[in-house]
Structure 1
Amino acid sequence: MTYQTTFKRYELKYLLTRQEKEKVLKAMDPYMQIDHYGRTTIRNIYFDTDTFRLIRRSLEKPAYKEKLRVRSYETADPEDEVFVELKKKYDGIVYKRRLTLPEKIVRESFERRRDLPVKSQIGEEIKYFRHYYGQLVPVVFLTYEREAYYSLDGSDFRVTFDENILYREDDVSLGSEIYGKPLLENGQTLLEIKTSGGIPLWMSRTLSSNHLFKTSFSKYGSAYMQMMNKNAKGGVRYA
Structure 2
Amino acid sequence: MADQMIFKRYELKYLLSPEMDRAIRIAMMEHMVPDIYGRNTNLSLYLDTPDFLLVRRSIESPVYKEKLRIRSYGTVGPEDKVFVELKKKYRKVVYKRRVALTEDETNAWIKGSCLPADSQIVREIDYSRRLYPQLAPRMLLSYDRQAFYAKENQDFRLTFDRNILWRMEDLNLHSPVRGRPLLKDGQVLMEIKTGAAIPLWLVEVLSREKIYRSSFSKYGRAYEELMRKNKPGGQAYWKPPIPGGQGFLPEQELRNSLPAPTEHEERRHDNDIAV
TM-score bin (small chain):
over 0.9
Contact 1:2 1:118 in 2 (8 A): no
Normalising to structure 1: TM-score of the pair? Answer: 0.95
Instruction: For 2:72 and 2:92, locate their aligned partners in 1 and report how far apart those are by CA, in whole Å.
Output: 26
* In 1, Cα distance between equivalents of 2:94 and 2:128: 17
Measured against aligned partners, the alpha-carbon deviations of 1:128-178 in whole angstroms (never above 9, x if no partner) come to 101111120100010000010011113411000001000000001100111
Higher deviation after alignment, 188-197 or 100-109? 100-109
Partner of 2:17: 17
- What's 2:253 paired with? none
Residue matched to 1:184: 183
**What SS does the aligned partner of 1:199 have?**
coil
Return structure 1 stretches of 4+ with deviation > 6 angstroms.
Answer: none
Letter in 1 for 2:128: F
Unaligned 5+ runs, structure 1 = none
1:182-206, Cα deviation, whole Å (9 max, x unpaired): 1100000001001000100011001
- Give the letter for the 1:211 counterpart: K
Residue aligning to 2:87: 87
Unaligned runs of 5+ in 2: 235-275
Aligned residues: 234
After superposition, where does 1:189-208 map in structure 2 within 5 Å? 189-208=188-207
1:230 deviation in Å? 1.3
TM superposition score normalised by structure 2:
0.83
Distance across 2 between alignment mates of 1:206 and 1:190: 16
Residues 190-228 of structure 1 deviation map (CA, whole Å, 9 limit, x = unaligned): 010010001000110010011100011000001101111
Q: CA RMSD in A?
A: 1.2
Equivalents in 2 of 1:194, 1:44: separation in Å?
Answer: 18
Report 1:127-138 matches (<5 A).
127-138=126-137
Residue in structure 1 matched with residue 106 of structure 2 by the alignment:
106
- Partner Cα distance (2:106, 2:116) in 1: 9
Q: Is the 8 A contact 2:159 2:190 kept in 1?
A: yes
Matches within 5 A, 1:32-111: 32-110=32-110
Q: State the alpha-carbon separation in 1 of the partners of residues 107 and 151 from structure 2.
A: 38
Residue type at the aligned position of 1:205: E
Query: Partner of 2:238 in structure 1?
Result: none
Instruction: Determine which structure has more spread, i.e. the larger CA radius of gyration.
Output: 2
Partner of 1:218: 217
